[in-house]
Amino acid sequence: MAVCVMVSLVAVTAYTVALGGSGWLWFGWVVLTLCAVGVMVTSKS
């Protein structure tokens, strides 16, 4: 899950640099990050 978050961050950053920023892309990345954090927290309990 952490690898997926990091790969998506690189992809969103590359897209933003190449084609300009998109609020929906960053919103989606934040949601993915929050889901990953939730999975890590619940799996450690």
SS (H, E, C) 10-38: HHHHHHHHHHCCCHHHHHHHHHHHHHHHH
Enter the tokens of residue 41: 């927290």
Domain of 21? 2-44
Looking up tokens 């998109």, which residue turns up?
22
pLDDT digits (tens, 9 = 90+) for 15-34: 888 988 788 888 888 898 89
Give the C-alpha separation, 39 to 31, whole Å.
12
Total domain count, the chain: 1
pLDDT for 11 equals 87
Please determine, for residue 38, whether its predicted confidence score (pLDDT) is greater than 70: yes
Sorting pLDDT into bands at 50, 70 and 90, what band is 3?
A: confident
